[in-house]
Amino acid sequence: MDDKTQKILRMWLSIPRWMRNFVPVLLSLLVVLGAIFIGIEMLIHPTSLSISLSDLLICFIPSLVLTVVIIKNTK
């Protein structure tokens, strides 16, 4: 490995493992929760948002999945 690659590897390994795992999980959760909240808002006020069908599906599917998971886990 050249010096630049070694330096990048050392910097990456100096980051704690929990932080290396936490940041991608946090970003994924923010995207999914944002889609869920927009999906819930569309369910409550469907005419207030001018949104395309693809956006509706992208936001509605995570809301539906989360609803099914919550219902199955509460039984």
SS3 72: helix
Inside any domain, residue 7: no
Q: What is the pTM of this model?
A: 0.47
Inside any domain, residue 68: yes
What is the domain extent for residue 53? Answer: 21-74
Q: Which residues contact 41 (CB under 8 A, 6 or more apart)?
A: 48, 49
pLDDT for 48: 61
Inside any domain, residue 16: no
Domain tally, the chain: 1
Inside any domain, residue 36: yes
Please write the tens of the pLDDT for every residue from 5-32: 999 888 888 888 888 778 888 888 888 7
Which of the four pLDDT bands, split at 50, 70 and 90, describes residue 70? Answer: confident
Q: What is the 3-state secondary structure (H, E, C) of 5-68?
A: HHHHHHHHHHCCHHHHHHHHHHHHHHHHHHHHHHHHHHHHCCCCCCCCHHHHHHHHHHHHHHHH
Inside any domain, residue 6: no
Contact 39, 54 (CB under 8 A): no
Inside any domain, residue 12: no
**pLDDT above 70 (res 50):** no
